[in-house]
Amino acid sequence: MDIERAKARTYEIYETIIRGNLKPLPGAAEMVSRCRNLGLKLALATSADKIKMEATLTEIRISSSSFDATITGLDVVNKKPFPDIYLMAAEKIGLKPEECLVVEDAISGITAAIRAGCRCLAVSTSFAGEMLSEADWICDSLENVPDEALKW
């Protein structure tokens, strides 16, 4: 099997499937704007490959240029729950991990954020809030991010 060819075909199919069907989480674009208005640096750290990240961002109409850095699963050896992706994100935006807030919806991502030494805001869109209890803050939607999660 030609892995690279199969992977390319998989992403072609993914792009076809999401076209017109993928919507951003409620409040996602507003959260990016809110952070920008606060003068915060932004990094997008995803375990997905770059092509999937770009296709997803295009479909939800959030430009990769909204972020000071983007890091994908291809940029790190160890994926979540290892802290590598968040350590790299902090480095790329010129901050110490303890100066960073990670926004996560997955248990392995929260674990990675904590292991990196970052603060963490969990969004209970994929898992129930009680399953995300290790995060510093929990909200049910990016429309309801507590002010203290962005101003500490």
23 has pLDDT over 90 = yes
Mean pLDDT along residues 19-44:
96
Q: Could you tell me which of 22, 18, 19, 44 has the C-alpha nearest to residue 31?
A: 44
Q: Report the interhelical angle of 84-92 vs 107-116 (nearest 10°).
A: 60
Alpha-carbon distance of 152 to 136, in angstroms, equals 11
Q: What is the pTM of this model?
A: 0.91
Q: What is the pLDDT of residues 74-95, one digit of tens each?
A: 999 999 999 999 999 999 999 9
- Residue 134: which H helix or E strand, with range? none
**Region 15-26: what's the mean pLDDT?**
96
Give pLDDT tens digits for 45-59.
999 999 999 999 999
Domains and CATH numbers, the chain: 26-49+61-150 (3.40.50.1000)
Instruction: Tell me the pLDDT tens digit for each residue of 87-119.
Output: 999 999 999 999 999 999 999 999 999 999 999
* pLDDT at residue 19 greater than cutoff 90: yes
Give the pLDDT of residue 107.
96
DSSP 65: G
| pLDDT, averaged across the chain | 96
Confidence at residue 152, expressed as pLDDT on a 0 to 100 scale? 85
Which residues neighbour 138 within 8 Å (Cβ) at sequence distance 6 or greater? 121, 122, 123, 124, 129, 132
SS3 label, residue 64: helix
What per-residue confidence (pLDDT) applies to 34? Answer: 96
